[in-house]
Structure 1
Amino acid sequence: MWISKIELTNFKSYPHAELDFPEPTDGKNIVLIGGMNGYGKTSILEALYLALYGKDAIIHLARAGLKTDDIKGYPTFLERAFNGEAKRDGQDSMSVRVVINRTKTKAIDIRRRWYFKSVTGTWTRDEEAVVREVFRDVPDTPKKDGKNGFLLSDLLDDHFVPAHIAPFFFFDGEEVKKLADQARIEQVKQGLEGLLGIVLLRQLADRLRDFEAGKRSTVSSVDEENIQRMLDSLTADQARLTELQRDSSESSERLAQLKGERESFIERITAAGGGGGDIATVKDLVEEREGLRSNQRDVQKQLERILADKLPFHLMPRALLTEFKTQLESEIALASWEAECRSLQPKRDKFEWAFLGASTPEFQPGLSPEQLAVVKARIETAWASLFHPPPTNCAETVVHGYLHDELRERALSFLGSLSVGQQDVHDLLSQQRSLVEQIDELGRKISRVEGIDRDGTLATLKADLKRVSDEIETLENHIRSEDREVASLEVAVNNTKSRYLQEKKRMDDTSPTRSLLNKSERVRAVIEEVVPLLFPLKVQALATAMTKVYKQLAHKDQVAKIVIDNDGTTRILGKTGKDIVFDRSAGENQIFATALIAGLAQVSGVKAPLVVDTPLGRLDSRHRANIFQFWTSDSNRQVILLSQDKEIDTDFYKRIKDNVSATYLLDHTDVGDGIGRTTAKRDKYFGANR
């Protein structure tokens, strides 16, 4: 795999340049591009990143050691990269083309183009990346990045270099100095993060955080704590209501059982002579008394209902009650009118379509777009006039939004049944007094007819009868009390349930977004948990690869191996197994950093070219020879070196000439207005022509 072409058009100081590179064969795997500082060497490396990775290149350019404006970002970078001559001449585009040969017959041709305003040179935010797969010099149908399911990033992940590990293959060697000046633990951590895709995970976490912030601004404000409190209250009241209903059922069964026992005691008392021989007397009196007591309970319930349900409303000012009733009626009318409007909306759409979509009769002359817009506006106004303004009996403002339509109807019906007169209450009280007097009189009659207890049996039966009767009375009082609590709870449950369902509906309307937010937060939590666990996966392989490369690059032979702990701590061990402490000279540290980058590239398993800007900046002659030997050790890996004259000079070039497949020399000319022009001269190098 090798890069066979880099073509620059209106990119930085290049009006147009084509650099063609041959296949690395016969030990010739080095490409030399020479240029003085400021002549455009780094621009070639930047162009490679931008062509392949687009806006994602900004992040990886910084990791590769290239300077970017982190604050202004991608648009500013592009506007500064737009060629000055092109901007002066009013041109409006800039492009970079990269051709990658996978084999002699298969290639990937990538061209990314950016568009600018011809007057100001401002990027229009419009760019396109067109990819062609080439077989035997015949290009396939072009594909656009992001169109019809095609993604350039997927293609690069599968067949070239994924963006997150690109800095191991394309980097500024001069900036390796800064990497070398860092603590080694930080070097290794940064390298492992790139190799394991942790950079991508952190980018994903940041994008998820931005996504969550954006989505939360669109979600309507809902007091979830208040909804939860209502649900807790509703759940507790429903549980209490269920408990009361169950207890009421059990109490009713117990009451029926006690009444059976009382019936038995009455029969036994009568049989024992308690009724003076008239068996039916005591039984009939007791049954009559129970009937009166039942009537008494009914009267009591009617009075309680009046007090609980109707009397409070009679204590309200009549004007307030009338206003409440009127508001309910107007809200019901408004709901009915809105429903009618909604039901007729499809007919309005059908009418507009039929009117504007009809082909005959034709408008003569034809309508202009402005006239057609006026016609549409007239249709809209005419249709709206059928419904607006709403009928006069509709509410202008919905005050009782907590009531749905059915509850409004029920409330209005209830208000209509509130009427209660003074005579009604007076009659119920009189009926209650009469029943009490009748019950007392029957009690006295029962006592008179009970007879004489000769052997104590009757007294015992009477005591049992009294005990059961008292228990019946206590149980009946308990049932009445529970009935009152049940009635109160049913009202409370209905009101709370209505408010809860209304608020829950508001929350449910945004539930898809809330669900997405919850999923996003969970993914970010997983990322934070997983990242520390990823380092041990590649530590040993990286240490082995770094050891091999370090031994090739360093001219000190006492190094046995490099050991990396899971936290990134790195130790260099001698042949005796003890740590070696170097003086951390500039050259030694650069060799370590270079070994780290080479080791990461090897562990990644990607067989891609190396592109190195300023490759030998701070190395002595022996280290230069060693690192060059390392670059040529794999004769099938293309190595493109962007060098200035003090790194790979004429003498060093002559020593390595047999490994060089192509050379270019960058020539720079000042064309005025502070604008420079760079041209690439093939088969040229500093002081040596091939």
Structure 2
Amino acid sequence: MWISKIELTCFKSYQHQEFTFPEPNNGKNVVLIGGMNGYGKTSVLEALYLCLYGKDAMAHLARAGLKTDDVRGYPTFLEKAFNGEALRDGRDTMLVRVTVNRSKAKAIEITRKWYFRSNGSWTDEEATVRTITRNVPDMPRSDGKNGFHLADMLDDLFVPAHIAPFFFFDGEEVKKLADQSRIEQVKQGLEGLLGVVLLRSLSDRLRQFENSRRQGVVTVDEERLAQLERTLRDNEQQEQDIAHQIDVAKDQKRLLADEFQSLLERVTSAGGGGGDTATYKELVEEREQYRASLRENMRDQEEILSGRLPFHLASKNILETLRSQLEAELRYFKWEGEKQALEPRKNEFRAALESQASPLIQPPLSDEQTAALNARLDAAWACLFYPPPDDCAEKIIHSYLTPPERSKMLEYLDSIAVSQREIQDLLSEHAQLTQRIDDLGRKISKLEGIDRDGTLAALTQQLKDLQQKIDSVDEEIRADERRRTGLETQVVTQRADYERERKKLDDSSPARSVIKKSDRIRRVIEDLIPALFPLKVKQLASSMTQVYRQLAHKDQVSRIFISNDGTSQILGKSGRPITFDRSAGENQIFATALIAGLAKVSGINAPLVVDTPLGRLDSRHRHNILQFWTSDESRQVILLSQDKEIDAEFHRRISKHVAKTYLLDHTDVGDGVGRTSAREDRYFVEAAE
């Protein structure tokens, strides 16, 4: 699959320009489009997005690193894109056409036109698609007409909009991504791959729909409901912020732990313990193991105090009543689900009955008799389901819970038992661990006492300072986790209050049932999002490992490990984490490996189109990335570069992989209007000569 043609008419500084690209063949898979800054390189990438995805491109343009107007949006972007000369000459149409070849014989031509008034304001647009077989085009199909939708076709045959930023992006976005913590990088990438952006957009639209529908019905204490919702949303946001702080702190703690391990190696190699370096290292590592066990012990104590113990303050009667109610509600929803599943069969049965021609009914039934028969059928069908079984809940009290949440609550009630012995064991273990840590500390101090030139003492002090930082970060994490646990409990209570009040409101009008369905779908989406990550993390880690080892010039990397929460580690051949200096180049290599890994996991063999491809990389990393892009000879790579990135030298080094080049010329035609044209089979090397 490759892009064989991009045509721009009255788009930005292009009056009319056609870029044609050959099929990747015989190792030639790279296309170079060179231009100085401001000459129209980025316009090619923007045109590709707008032609393929229209208005939907705006969100993805931002994710791909391209500038958009978040306030005024799509119309303003188009009006700025309309060519200044065309507007001055009274023309009214801007056009972008992209041709994608799936093979030599089959291609898809996508054309999008935008129409403008004489003052330059955008009025309308149309998108058409033609299938081309052996250079013979079919009749065009219009997007949104006769059941045809361009977005569906792109999902099936090319690149869906939500993963386009993995294939078409600005290299500056890689730099932006690289400046984030690696947890945020991985989460952001996985969300794009799994379509979380679309799910969140759907959730927001459902929320807006619910709010708009509520405005049209009779209100029942809506001011109190609105206040409850605001409080709930504020606490949910605060809970998310704390969760983010915990992720960042854990990332920081891992870095400190890696630095601690590295410093420990230096201490032992510097003669820690007066020649008994192995003993010194073992004691320090043993102390760290006990400290980790002590932290786990304290977490177990906190879990009992904040989780299970409060339930023991409630009477056995209350707990049994809660359990019985939850079980009865589960049986009710199971019965209701079975009833709803069979409901469509009633109409099938009625239709089958009416279609029977024998035995003949003589005389034919009158209208009154037919109506009476249908009424009896309805009554008989209803008897199959009513009344509900005796063991179902007569009233749904916990309406804020979904059936899976009710099941989880019942499982939790089975696990809340806590005995005096369990608490005593934890306290005893806490005392023993503390004593053992103190003993090991004294032994370590004795070994540290032998030092001739002060080097060991300085390193040991650094080690202690680093341990204090780790303990401080760990305490911050524990404090944040306690805050989050408290907020989670508070949010559950507030959500219950909100759901009860909203149910009263929704039940006050038939229109509320539609809102209720929308809300159920939205809650399913919100529950679904965090469950998606484990589906792809292993596959992503494997793909990232392959790419990273090609890009990095450090050969000690064995693999990249990613956990379900987005935490990543670069592991050496011994299986232990490797700590690299977090230089700009190293971060960008990791981010590039992430984007390339996501593209691999998507399973789509689409072209790569990259603006500002090499950014702030040093010459070694530049060489590795170019080598990576040329390693897959079947994948087309279109690079939009200025003269300081892929210059004459780099062009010569990859010339055997270059299938086509263009050099952009730019002319100022007055009134702040520029004109860009592209010279085929030219590049900066010729300008240098």
TM-score bracket, normalised by the shorter chain, equals: 0.5 to 0.7
Question: 1:407-427: CA deviations, max 9, x gaps?
Answer: xxxxxxxxxxxxxxxxxxxxx
- Give the counterpart of 1:139 among 122, 137, 140: 137
Amino acid corresponding to residue 40 of structure 2 in structure 1: G
**What CA distance in whole angstroms lies between the structure 2 residues aligned with 1:83 and 1:110?**
21
Which residue is equivalent to 2:646? 648
Mean CA deviation greater in 25-34 or 61-70: 61-70
Q: Per-residue displacement from partner, 1:624-663 (whole Å, max 9, x unpaired)?
A: 1111111111101000000000011011101111100100
1:610 alignment partner in structure 2 = 608
Deviation at 1:508, TM superposition (A): 9.7
Query: TM (normalized to structure 2)?
Result: 0.58
Distance 2:115 2:215 in 1: 33
* 1:684 alignment counterpart: 682
- 1:8 matched residue in structure 2: 8
Q: What's 1:108 paired with?
A: 108
Q: Which residue of 1 aligns with 2:121?
A: 122
Aligned ranges 1:310-349 → 2 under 5 Å = none
Residue 533 of structure 2: aligned partner: 535
Amino acid at match of 1:110: I
Using the TM superposition, give the Cα deviation of residue 116 of structure 1 relative to its aligned residue in structure 2, in angstroms.
Answer: 0.8
Residue 369 of structure 1 corresponds to none
Q: Counterpart of 1:57?
A: 57
Show the counterpart of 2:233: none
Q: Does 1:183 align with 2:181?
A: yes
Match for residue 95 of structure 2? 95
SS at structure 1 position matched to 2:37: coil
Name the structure 2 match of 1:25: 25
Structure 2: where are the runs of 5+ without partners?
A: 224-504
- Amino acid in the other structure paired with 2:129: V
Look up the equivalent residue of 1:123 and give its one-letter code: W
Structure 2 match to 1:212: 210
Aligned match of 1:198 in 179, 183, 196? Answer: 196
User: 1:221, CA displacement in angstroms?
Assistant: 4.6
Q: CA deviation at 1:214?
A: 2.2
CA displacement at 1:585 relative to structure 2? 0.9
After superposition, the C-alpha distances for 1:177-233 in whole angstroms (9 at most, x for unaligned) are 1110110100000000011111110011111112222222233557899xxxxxxxx
1:398 match: none
Measure the CA separation in 2 of the matches of 1:34 and 1:224: 60
Aligned residue in 1 for 2:259:
none
Aligned position for 1:77? 77
Instruction: Give the Cα–Cα distance (whole angstroms) in 1 for the partners of residues 546 and 40 of structure 2.
Output: 34
Kindly tell me: are residues 508 and 582 of structure 1, through their superposed partners in 2, closer, same or farther at Cα, counting changes over 3 Å? closer
| 2:554 aligned partner | 556
Q: Distance in 2 between matches of 1:101 and 1:514?
A: 50
Note the 1:256-655 alignment, pairs <5 A.
511=510, 513-655=511-653
Q: 1:583/1:139 Cα in 2 relative to 1: closer, same or farther (>3 Å)? A: same
Instruction: Tell me how far 1:680 sits from its aligned partner.
Output: 1.1
* Residue 77 of structure 2 corresponds to residue 68 of structure 1: no
Aligned counterpart, 1:496: none
> Quick one: distance in 1 between partners of 2:619 and 2:685?
20
Using the TM superposition, give the Cα deviation of residue 174 of structure 1 relative to its aligned residue in structure 2, in angstroms: 2.2
Structure 2 residue identity aligned to 1:63:
R
RMSD: 1.9
C-alpha change, 1:103 and 1:673, in structure 2 (3 Å) is same
- Please give the secondary structure, in 2, of the residue aligned with 1:75: helix
Rounded to whole Å, the distance in 1 between the matches of 2:677 and 2:658 is 21
Partner AA of 1:660 in structure 2: V
| SS at structure 2 position matched to 1:688 | helix
* Partner of residue 165, structure 1: 163
Q: SS at 2:581's partner residue?
A: coil
2:218–2:508: 8 Å Cα contact kept in structure 1?
Answer: no
Equivalent pair of 2:506/2:513 in contact (CA under 8 Å): no
Secondary structure of the corresponding residue to residue 654 of structure 2: helix
Match of 1:474 in 2: none
**Same amino acid, percent of matched pairs:** 73
Looking at structure 2, the residues matched to 45 and 25 of structure 1 have their Cα atoms a distance apart, in angstroms, of: 23
Query: For 1:627 and 1:63, how far apart are their aligned partners in 2?
Result: 21
Q: Contact 2:507–2:513 (CA<8 Å) still a contact in 1?
A: no
Q: For residues 220 and 677 of structure 1, do their structure 2 counterparts lie closer, same or farther at Cα, with a shift above 3 Å needed?
A: same
Contact 2:506 2:515 in 1 (8 A): no
Q: Does structure 1 residue 34 correspond to structure 2 residue 34? A: yes
> Structure 1 residues 184, 507: closer, same or farther in 2, change over 3 A?
closer
Change (3 A) 1:532 1:90: same
Question: Alignment partner of 2:670: what SS?
Answer: coil
Aligned to 2:668: 670
Q: Using the alignment, how far apart are the partners of 1:222 and 1:574 within structure 2?
A: 62
TM superposition shift of 1:687: 2.9
Quote how far apart the aligned CAs of 1:514 are: 2.4
TM-score when normalising by structure 1:
0.58
Q: Aligned to 1:671, what secondary structure does the other structure show? A: strand
Instruction: Give the secondary-structure state (helix, strand or coil) at the position aligned to 1:677.
Output: strand
- CA deviation profile, 1:375-401 (whole Å, cap 9, x unmatched): xxxxxxxxxxxxxxxxxxxxxxxxxxx
Larger Rg: 1 or 2?
A: 1
Cα distance in 2 between the residues matched to 1:522 and 1:665: 55
**CA spacing shift, 1:656–1:224, aligned 2, 3 Å:** closer
Q: Give the secondary structure class of the aligned counterpart of 1:43.
A: helix
Deviates more, 1:213-222 or 1:132-141: 213-222
**CA deviation vs aligned residue, 1:286-308 (integer Å, no higher than 9, x gap):** xxxxxxxxxxxxxxxxxxxxxxx
In 2, the alpha carbon distance for the partners of 1:222 and 1:192 equals 42
Separation of aligned partners in 2, 1:14 and 1:558 = 48
Runs of 4+ in 1 over 4 A off after TM superposition: 220-225, 506-510
For 1:52, the aligned partner's letter is: L
Deviation at 1:599, TM superposition (A): 0.1
Unaligned regions of 5+ residues in structure 1, if any? Answer: 226-505
Aligned residue in 1 for 2:417:
none
Residue 507 of structure 1 deviates from its aligned partner by 9.4
2:500 corresponds in structure 1 to none
Q: Distance in 2 between matches of 1:209 and 1:508?
A: 18
Shift of 1:681: 1.0
SS of match in other structure, 2:662:
strand
Give the C-alpha shift of residue 7 in structure 1: 0.5
Q: Kindly tell me the number of residue pairs found equivalent between the two proteins.
A: 407
Looking at structure 2, the residues matched to 168 and 618 of structure 1 have their Cα atoms a distance apart, in angstroms, of: 19
Q: Render the CA deviation track for 1:511-534: whole Å, top value 9, x for unaligned.
A: 2x4222111111110111111110
SS in 1 for 2:580: coil
Q: Do 2:3 and 2:101's aligned partners in 1 also have CA atoms closer than 8 Å?
A: yes
**Distance between the aligned counterparts of 1:554 and 1:12, measured in 2?**
38
Partner Cα distance (2:53, 2:563) in 1: 33
1:405 — aligned with what? none
Distance 1:507 1:688 in 2: 71
CA 46–507 in structure 1, closer or farther in 2 if over 3 Å, else same: closer
Structure 2 counterpart of 1:84, which letter?
A: G
Question: Secondary structure of 1:687's match?
Answer: helix
